Homo-oligomer: A and B are copies of this chain.
Amino acid sequence: MKIETVDFFYLAMPEITTAADGSQDALVVRVTAGGFIGWGECEAAPLPSIAAFVCPMSHGACQPVQNAVLGQRLESPADIARIAAQVEYDSMDLLQAPHTWSGIEMALWDLLGKARGEPVWKLLGYGRSHAKTPYASQLFGDSPQETLERGRSARADGFRAVKFGWGPVGRGALEIDADHFAAAREGLGPDGILLVDVGQIFGEDVERAARRLPALEAARATWLEEPFAASAYGEYATLAARTSVKMAGGEGAHNFHMARNLIDYGNIGFVQIDCGRIGGIGPAKRVADHAVGKGVTYVNHTFTSNLALSASLQPFAGVADATICEYPVSLQPLAVELTANHIQRDANGEIAAPDAPGLGIEINPAALETYRVEVEITVQGRTLFRSPAAA
């Protein structure tokens, strides 16, 4: 097979807010090769990501992503790795390139899996897809009371693990944060797994983060996610040494090395990888392997559709010891409707990467129309991109 076409579908809700909700828009990728179709999703700003695919070349190490992709041979996982290496080298100076490539890479795995009749996790070398405990991923409430109710609601919905993120935490008085942590624990109940995500709010201020540790410890949080900027490894390591709460991070990694560095130098306990940013499923699998060797627990980072969720489950589907996974529970209609099927919890309340070929997720073409964003990019009078038709 040769890669024949790569199409980008930019979708968006009619109104986008400043909430830290990544499901308000989407950049979906469709790849065709040898009569098969593969789908992927970039967890990325759509317009710059499209531009990174089609832009004119700046020089040999700053080429558009399409140059290393279109027309390439695709017969095996090794081909995907080869194309990935080419993109990394030829688009070295194009910063957005890894985000663009991530959705394409996913689509190549999906396509290859469909062509072979095998799920992606099998192509990655795993013998089975282990069921995992999904944690309901949601935002803190505006008030501790609202946080409490969200915790109760998630518990009532059968979730044994809940992540609260962003919202007011880290922005005001210490006591407010402590109230939110306690409310989250109370809502979730004494035996639930409580995870806290503060979305880099402390920048590189270790002391400001450290003042929250007693309240996090009292609430028995399993992890504190992204206290600092993604590459502030020293700060992660310093904070980790001061508490029993594990540090979590990694969603900002846009290549394997960045995630490896966070493990090796940041002393994190959980590494969270978004396949829509790190360059797809291949580098994520490398991170999973490295994490196992270092005694760090791999977790997916997913705040978009079930297509992205399936992709993000594949790299650690076969790691039996990595028992929890992120599961977004308040997706915008766009992200729900994008896929015709969904990854549902089983009787045990667990989810797993699908057994169907490829990523095992079917795209709903109607959603590509309903939420379609019309884009046209012209350079020197030549149209480099125009939103494609779904059919």
Binding site for B on A (CB under 8 A): 12, 16-22, 24-25, 43-52, 54-64, 85, 88-89, 92-96, 98-99, 166, 199-200, 203-204, 229-234, 252, 254-255, 257-258, 260-261, 264-265, 277, 373-381, 384
Q: Are A56 and B12 in contact (CB under 8 A)?
A: yes
Q: Are A200 and B234 in contact (CB under 8 A)?
A: no
Tell me, in angstroms, the Cα distance from A234 to B256 when the chains sit together: 13
**Smallest CB–CB gap between A238 and chain B, Å?**
13
Tell me, in angstroms, the Cα distance from A200 to B93 when the chains sit together: 11
**CB-contact partner of A254 in B61, B89, B95, under 8 A:** B95
Residues in chain B near residue A93, CB distance under 8 A: 22, 43-45
Q: Are A234 and B57 in contact (CB under 8 A)?
A: no
Q: Are A231 and B45 in contact (CB under 8 A)?
A: no
Residues in chain B near residue A260, CB distance under 8 A: 234
Chosen A-B contacts, 23 in total, with CB atoms closer than 8 Å, are A16-B59, A20-B61, A21-B59, A21-B60, A24-B59, A43-B93, A44-B93, A45-B55, A45-B93, A45-B95, A47-B55, A47-B377, A48-B48, A48-B51, A56-B373, A95-B99, A95-B254, A95-B277, A230-B257, A232-B257, A233-B257, A261-B265, A374-B378
**Which B residue's beta carbon lies closest to that of A24?**
B59
Q: Are A61 and B199 in contact (CB under 8 A)?
A: yes
**Which B residue's beta carbon lies closest to that of A258?**
B231
Q: Are A56 and B16 in contact (CB under 8 A)?
A: yes
**Smallest CB–CB gap between A105 and chain B, Å?**
15
**Which B residue's beta carbon lies closest to that of A384?**
B47
**Which B residue's beta carbon lies closest to that of A234?**
B264
Residues in chain B near residue A377, CB distance under 8 A: 47, 375-377
**Smallest CB–CB gap between A197 and chain B, Å?**
12
Residues in chain B near residue A252, CB distance under 8 A: 92
Residues in chain B near residue A43, CB distance under 8 A: 93
Q: Are B376 and A52 in contact (CB under 8 A)?
A: no
**Which B residue's beta carbon lies closest to that of A19?**
B60
Residues in chain B near residue A44, CB distance under 8 A: 58, 62, 93-95
Tell me, in angstroms, the Cα distance from A252 to B88 when the chains sit together: 12
Q: Are A24 and B254 in contact (CB under 8 A)?
A: no
Residues in chain B near residue A89, CB distance under 8 A: 200, 203
Q: Are A57 and B378 in contact (CB under 8 A)?
A: no
**Which B residue's beta carbon lies closest to that of A259?**
B231
Tell me, in angstroms, the Cα distance from A375 to B51 when the chains sit together: 12
**CB-contact partner of A51 in B24, B47, B92, B98, under 8 A:** B47
A17-B59, A45-B64, A48-B52 known; 14 new pairs, CB 8 Å cut-off, are A16-B59, A18-B60, A20-B59, A20-B60, A21-B60, A48-B51, A95-B99, A95-B277, A96-B96, A204-B257, A229-B257, A230-B257, A261-B261, A373-B379
